[in-house]
Structure 1
Amino acid sequence: MQPKIKDVARAAGVSVTTVSRVLNGEKYVKDDLKNKVNQAIEQLGYAPSQIARSLVRKKTNLIGVIVPDLTSSFYSTILSSIEEAASSNGYNLLVCNIIEDTDKEFKYLNVFQEMRVEGIIIMHEKINEEIRTLIHKMNIPVIFSSVKPMDQDFTSVIIDDYKAAYDATKYLIELGHEEIGFIGGDMRDITSGQNRYSGYRNALSDHSIKIVYENIRFGDYKVRSGYEQMKDMLRNKQVPTAVFAVSDDMALGAMNCIRDHSLRVPEDISIMGFDGSLLTELVRPTLTSMEQPIHEMGRITMGALMKQISQKGIPTGDIVLEHRLVVRESCRKRE
């Protein structure tokens, strides 16, 4: 059987309270008693229960994270940044990959509550009424990262997705493209779905360019989806000279599809991505993308959550970061 704290106290000849104070690094414990306790711990091979210590201190240093899809290059990158920021501040993450399953999310949120996490980060916005009610009842600081839910009571760390999509489309127009296809996301998403689609449409409208609905498709942000949507677009009589995809993953899928149909990027079709993930530098040709400051977003998300934790859950207001266009090889000026 594993030794318990009372076994350590007995071996050191001190009280359980003294052992507890030594384990918690409290002051005012005499050096000789501290040495006896540490020697007993080493001799017995005692490992304190982190759960028990957390209950005593009422502090778990745990952060729960809800991720919609860890296979996404965007989410894996931002999660890495959050983990780095959390670790440097003495926090550990409980990461739950829900794969767009609200039943899973409801279950994991209850697990977070049972584990007494000190804060929760959510990276998607399709929260139903049941989940919204649970979050409000939990009385745990919650922050949304990269998305803005309809519930205005929560803090979000985001970019202006409408403006970013507008600027991406405008860049393609400035290159001389007028037949610009669009591979959008889930239109149930306000942030990455509706706002980016509106930015694309309004950029065309403001520059007196006709919207060709046959060249507009919607996917699920993944590589395979980008491939299939691009394949449908290539069946049209009027094939676009440029395509704007609202995720780098879908842009990569579109590029693969174009090559598989004996066409070239960017000579035949220019491709614009969105996110600025690691994929942009790994593919050939390298991918022009409207970049979110992913690493900064993760770091600021964790910082804003820690501020809420210290202020006992008081929302800090949305934090809107700057997007930027990163020009690479996948777009070219139309001749």
Structure 2
Amino acid sequence: MGDVAQAAGVAPVTVSRYLNDPSLVSDRSKQKIGDAIKALNYVPHAAARTLASKRSRMIGCIVPSLDSSLFGRALEVFQNHISTAGYNLILASNNYDHDKEREHIHQMISHGVDALLLIGSSRDESVYQLLNDKKIPYILTWTVDAKEDHPCIGFSNHDAAASITDYLMDLGHKKFAVISGATQYNDRASNRLAGVRSALAKRGLSLSDDCVIERPFGVDSGRDAFRLLMSRNDRPTAIICGSEPFAYGAIFEAKALGIDIPGDVSITGFDDMWLASNITPGLTTVRTPQQDMGMLAAKYLVSKLNKEDTLLPSPLGIEIIVRKSCAPPKE
């Protein structure tokens, strides 16, 4: 660090500030220090910096899956913001495995992460107790906590699913089915299913258990579930998919079976991923505030680490995006 300071013509403390919090350094000094670091091939020793500052400058994030672009939008915004504050992102996937997530959390704590971003709220209370005991700030995304026991930045999965159900009922649908991810240890999936049931009940309708098919997330699972539902004598006229890949699979399988969408059955998705507007027919879906969640989560954690007052936003809104995959049911 002393060599970098000498080459840049600045004090060593300025180099330290540049490495730990670039916002504290003037643009002119940033340029000189950056040039010196590049010329000298200087790489800070992370372990030494951690011992000196008692911070690793790392924020951990554990997502359910890296197999789709679902979490990518939020993570890109999240990473961009924490990097400007001098933090690096450490990313892991739990593959929707409750125990695997716990292992990742323990590993990240052992490596000294300063904060954690987690998806959803379904985990043992002991995990939250551990984070609180270690004084590690955390934020839950893609969910809301009605009890306000944990800091959350997200939206109501229950209300979002109820809204798409209301839209279909307004079109005249009464015979529904749901393709859902596993609801155990997944508050997003369970709340979406509860939202569908709640909306139906308000209009005197119901959803039998055999009209709910739980499958591992993915396009192939959507194809399989759609084929099963449409093989029955009493077919649904509307299928609500709790995850967008399910809806893509349903549309692909409908084409293979010669079933018209939306003429024979309406299909909806959830999250409005990039393919939703490019598939044929275009997918009617729930647009979730992915980028807003990433930005607000980053701001919250950086503020907590800076020991600043932090206010959590109200639950974020969603939007029903109407495309061509839905229509009134046939008489």
- TM-score w.r.t. the length of structure 1 is 0.81
Match of 2:107 in 1: 111
CA–CA distance in structure 2, aligned partners of residues 244 and 131 of structure 1: 33
Report the AA paired with residue 277 of structure 1. M
Q: Give the stretch that moved more between structures: 303-312 or 92-101.
A: 303-312
- Provide the C-alpha distance between the structure 2 equivalents of 1:302 and 1:155, rounded to a whole number of angstroms: 13
Task: Report the AA paired with residue 333 of structure 1.
Answer: P
CA contact (8 A) 2:82 2:88 kept: yes
Look up the equivalent residue of 1:325 and give its one-letter code: I
Deviations 1:95-143 (A, max 9, x none): 0112133443333323322333221001143323553443232210011
Report deviation, 1:159: 0.9
Once the 2 structures are TM-superposed, how far is the Cα of residue 41 of structure 1 from its aligned partner? 7.8
Residue of structure 1 equivalent to 2:16: 24
Partner of 1:201: 197
Out of 61, 64, 69, the position equivalent to 1:73 is: 69
Give CA deviations for 1:205-227 in whole Å, capped at 9, x if unaligned.
22223434432212233222222
Deviation at 1:193, TM superposition (A): 2.3
Cα displacement string for residues 210-264 of structure 1 (whole angstroms, at most 9, x for unaligned residues)? 4344322122332222222212212211111111111111111111222221112
User: Which residue identity is paired with 1:21?
Assistant: V
CA–CA separation in structure 1 for the residues paired with 2:111 and 2:75: 20
The 5 Å alignment of 1:126-275 reads 126-148=122-144, 152-189=148-185, 191-275=187-271
Assess if the C-alpha contact under 8 Å between 2:120 and 2:188 holds in 1.
Answer: no
Find the counterpart in structure 1 of residue 303 from structure 2.
307
Deviates more, 1:217-226 or 1:268-277: 217-226
Structure 1 residue runs of 5 or longer lacking an equivalent are: 13-17, 28-34
Q: In 2, Cα distance between the equivalents of 1:39 and 1:291?
A: 43
Which of 281, 286, 292 is the aligned partner of 1:285? 281
CA distance in 2, matches of 1:156, 1:123: 10
CA contact (8 A) 1:149 1:190 kept: no
Identity %: 25
Whether the 8 Å contact between 1:244 and 1:272 is mirrored in structure 2 is yes
Q: CA deviation at 1:25?
A: 4.8
CA 105–200 in structure 1, closer or farther in 2 if over 3 Å, else same: closer
1:149 and 1:224, CA in 2 relative to 1: closer, same or farther beyond 3 A?
farther
Distance 2:270 2:34 in 1: 54
Check the 8 A contact 2:118/2:138 in 1, yes or no: yes
Counterpart position of 2:78: 82
Residue aligning to 2:318: 323
Asked if structure 2 preserves the Cα contact closer than 8 Å seen for 1:179 and 1:240, the reply is yes
CA distance in 2, matches of 1:154, 1:323: 21
Aligned length: 315
Residue 64 of structure 1 pairs with residue 94 of structure 2: no
| 1:94 Cα offset (Å) | 0.3
Say if 1:41 and 1:260 are closer, same or farther in 2 by CA, change over 3 A.
Answer: closer
How far apart are the structure 2 equivalents of 1:302 and 1:292?
Answer: 18
Q: Given the superposition, is the C-alpha separation of residues 291 and 39 from structure 1 closer, same or farther in structure 2, using an over 3 Å criterion?
A: closer
Q: CA separation in 2, counterparts of 1:210 and 1:101? A: 31
What is the rounded CA distance, in whole Å, between the counterparts of 1:331 and 1:193 in structure 2? 22
Structure 2 residue runs of 5 or longer lacking an equivalent are 19-23, 25-31
TM-score of the superposed pair, with normalisation by structure 2: 0.82
2:141–2:153 contact (8 Å) kept in structure 1: yes
- SS at the partner of 1:320? coil
Residues 257-282 of structure 1 deviation map (CA, whole Å, 9 limit, x = unaligned):
22221112212211111112222123
Q: 1:22 to 1:293 in 2, by over 3 A?
A: closer
Equivalent position of 1:332 in the other structure: 327
Question: How far, CA to CA, are the matches of 2:236 and 2:14 in structure 1?
Answer: 70
- C-alpha root-mean-square deviation of aligned residues, in Å? 3.2
- Whole-Å Cα distance in 2 between the matches of residues 225 and 149 of structure 1? 30
Q: 1:310/1:234 Cα in 2 relative to 1: closer, same or farther (>3 Å)?
A: same
- Would the aligned equivalents of 2:262 and 2:327 in 1 still touch at CA under 8 Å? yes
Amino acid at match of 2:224: E
